[in-house]
Amino acid sequence: MESNASAPWMDRTSTENILRVLEKDQSLSITDYHVKDISTKGDQYMSEMHQITIQLQPTSSKERKVSLIAKKLPPGKEKQKKLSESSAFPNEIKIFRRILPKFQAILEDAAPGRSKIFAARHIYSQNNIPYFLIVSDLAAEGFRMATFSKVWILITVYWPGRH
């Protein structure tokens, strides 16, 4: 299965190439690159998550900081084998790659210039083993992860008897 050494987002050069295509700038360079494990033990059974913080130097503009989230299968051959047989990860990739951009376009069409970002932007993914997904980090937009206790309170208050 996957090791961190084979994950393109763990490699500065591969990430730079991904961003060159995304930004349509073949001279773009990464001047600083850090990967941090942001998985909380017990939180992510189906994946391992990393924050990638990058300092980008585009050709035609000044240097800027970019933060991305990379999601991959968790370590452990047995767990990876079981999850690889599931359609969960490919479905999540499909949602980020195809469905959420369509929703965002519908919102923008309905309220030009007034729609807000509601989901992370798909940056790059691999829809075969080893699965992985790179999306924009929405923390800069003020988004925060919900805690389990808050979600559970919402479920029990708004959908009593359905838990």
H helices, E strands: number in the chain: 5, 5
65-72 average pLDDT score: 92
Closest CA to 33 of 68, 6, 4, 58: 68
Burial class (CB in 10 A: 0-12, 13-18, 19+), 15: buried
* Residue pair 52/70 in contact by the 8 Å Cβ criterion: yes
How confident is residue 32, by pLDDT bands cut at 50, 70 and 90?
A: very high
Q: Pick the more confident residue, 48 or 45.
A: 48
Q: 25: number of CA atoms within 13 Å, CB side? A: 13
pLDDT tens figures, 127-151: 887 888 999 998 877 776 655 555 5
pLDDT at 152: 52
Rg (CA), the chain: 18
Residue 124: the pLDDT is 93
Instruction: List, for residues 5-18, the tens digit of each pLDDT value.
Output: 456 567 889 899 99
Find the mean pLDDT for residues 99-109: 93
Banded pLDDT at 1 (limits 50, 70, 90) = very low
pTM recorded for the entire structure? 0.79
